[in-house]
Each structure stands twice: as structure tokens, then as C-alpha cells.
Amino acid sequence: MRSSLTRLWLVASCLLIPLTNCSKEPANSAADARYKTVATVGMIADVVRQIAGDKTEVEGLIGEGVDPHLYKPTGSDVKKLQAADIVFYNGLMLEGKMGDVLVRVASSGKPVHAVTERILESKDFVMSTEENHYDPHVWMDVAGWIKASSVIGDSLAKYDPANANYYKDRTSQYIDQLNKLDEYARVSIASIPEGKRVLVTAHDAFSYLGRAYGIEVRGIQGLSTESEAGLKDINQLVDFLVENKIPAVFVESSVSQKNIKALIEGARANGHEVKIGGELFSDAMGPTGSYEGTYIGMIDHNVTTITRALGGDAPAGGLNGKLSN
């Protein structure tokens, strides 16, 4: 039932848009014809750009500062997915509200890949949340994004075999850069004095970072300052900050400043000054066209900001000297 409806839907849509968009083969009739790649989040779109270079035209659907967990695909997103030659998404339920559309697009026979498919195969890598869902934030551990990059490289080579060696070379060059980033993260976080290696944020996106680089992660997500339980939990976190003299807590663009301010005020009332250590990129990257608008720049920003705010050693410009402060 569903598949015949899907087929009808596809036939109808193919009549409405130029026929070339319905082709499943790479457009190679003209030298400058590039195939179209659509990615859900910016972290994936960036890796496709790094690996595919000018071979493809890449479009990311979910923009800067937008929460992918709650993102609902628009009509224009559906058209872009239909018109794409190849599609990449994170998976592990990150794009919760896009699932149906992605299934529909994949059922047309178009290559649609979850970049976390290899992470899921190696069961010991993937983390779970308390509600027993997989934690989708695998890009926070660079080793996770290395696995994702290899899925992207191999999928592009399979789709466009004439350029397979090109993708293979660029994937390994990019992974070399990611290995440097991974090492930088490890060394930087390890330079934070041991008792201060605690990352306090409002959203639970940082568990993979904590596990990979040895920093305890404490989130206040789910707490409400209006409820008794919320107040109790915030007070416990305040006690923890004061007792351990943790110098900084961190905000994200999606964070409730109210809870963070309650933490800071609570610590101050107990004679301990906590500052906001900076804004971290959790589920979206920085502005398009900036260094922070790339995956490497995003992680470099997070690691450098956390390290410096908690008393560790990291250059202000980060791994590549490119961070704007």
C-alpha cells in the first residue's frame, strides 16, 4: 500500500520537475554538470564538501543555530530531497521528524545513507541515553566523525565510480586532518587541572566528548527552575561547583540562560565566582563561510573554549590559528 502510493507520488513529482532531476545516474553529459548532494545537518554537508570538492553541489537543510531534534522538514526541503542524486543524514534518531520523508525518498531507489551506519555496527562505540535511546551526538568524538567520513567517502565513490580514486584520496587527506584534531582535543583537555575537568552545560550533547577526551559532563537539561525538583538539582550542582571550585559553566545557543544564571548566582551566594566560559556549538555549526562554520572549526572552537575557560593550555587561535574570538 505504502510503496504503491510512494511510486505514484514519485511519478507525479517527476512530471512536475525537469526530467534530469529524476535521473539516478550522475549527470556527466556536460563537463560542468555536477550531481546534487543533500545533507540534513551542517556537520555532514561540510564533510561532503571536503571530500567531494567540486564534483558535487552540496546543500545542507538544517541551518546554523537550528535544533535538529525538533526540526520539521518544509515543503521546500522535500523538493530538495526529491531532486537530490544522493542524500546523507546522521541517523540514530537525530533527525526525528524527518524519518518518514527520508524513508520515502530512499524507497525510490535513490542512495540515502546514514553516516552513522558503521558506528552502529561497532556496538561498543555508540552510547545510549537514560531513556534507552541511542545518543546521536557522535560528532563530538572526532573518532566518530572519522567513521562517518569513511561512510561518506565510500558512498560517493560507489555513486560516482569514475572518480572513485579522487574521493578515496581526499577522504584519507581529510581523515589525516581529523586525526590531528582528535590529538589536539586529547592534549588540550588533558592540560586542564584534573579536579577542574568538568563540563557543565544545559543540553546533553557532550557525552561522547566526555568519554573520548576524559572530562566529566554534567548537564542541566530537563531541569525547571519552577519545580521543586529542578531547584533541588540546581542546588546540588551549585554545591558541586563550589566544593570543586569549578571556574566556568557553558552556554549553547539553545540553552536556557535562566538555569545557567541560577547556577552562577547560587555559587556566588556561597562565595564562589563561576563565569560563563563561552558559547559552545552543540548540534549546529557556526556561521556559513567562517572557520567555525566547518566541522573542524566547530570542534576546535569547543575544545579551545572549554580548555581555556577551565584553566588548561590551548592557543587562543586554536589548532589551526583560525578561531575568531
Nearest to 65 by CA among 281, 279, 260, 209: 281
Cβ-based nearer residue to Zn ion, 97 or 232: 97
Cβ-based nearer residue to Zn ion, 43 or 192: 43
* Residue 310 near residue 197 (C-beta atoms within 8 A): yes
Determine the Cα–Cα distance for residues 34 and 15; give it in Å rounded to an integer.
Answer: 22
Sites for Zn ion among residues 186-225 (CB under 5 A): 205
Cβ-based nearer residue to Zn ion, 205 or 241: 205
* Residue 306 near residue 218 (C-beta atoms within 8 A): no
Determine the Cα–Cα distance for residues 202 and 213; give it in Å rounded to an integer.
Answer: 19
Stretch that binds Zn ion, among 40-48, 73-81, 147-155, 278-286 (CB under 5 A): 278-286
Cβ-based nearer residue to Zn ion, 71 or 159: 71
291's CB contacts (< 8 A; 6+ apart) are 297, 300, 320, 322, 323, 324
Contact pattern for Zn ion over residues 226 through 265, marking x by CB under 5 A: ----------------------------------------
**Could you say which DSSP state residue 163 is in?**
G
Cβ-based nearer residue to Zn ion, 207 or 307: 207
Type and span of the H or E element at 243: helix 228-243
CB 241 to Zn ion: min, Å: 23
Burial class (CB in 10 A: 0-12, 13-18, 19+), 240: middle
CB 162 to Zn ion: min, Å: 38
CB 42 to Zn ion: min, Å: 13
CB 40 to Zn ion: min, Å: 13
- Please work out the total of residues on this chain that contact Zn ion, with binding judged by CB under 5 A: 2
Q: Is 283 in the site for Zn ion (CB under 5 A)?
A: yes
CB 96 to Zn ion: min, Å: 11
Contact pattern for Zn ion over residues 37 through 76, marking x by CB under 5 A: ----------------------------------------
Nearest to 117 by CA among 84, 156, 150, 159: 150
Cβ-based nearer residue to Zn ion, 283 or 300: 283
CB 48 to Zn ion: min, Å: 21
**C-alpha torsion angle, residues 99, 221, 125, 309 (rounded to 10):** 130
Stretch that binds Zn ion, among 98-106, 156-164, 229-237, 276-284 (CB under 5 A): 276-284
Q: Which three cell numbers stand for residue 4?
A: 504503491
Q: Which residues bind Zn ion (CB under 5 A)?
A: 205, 283
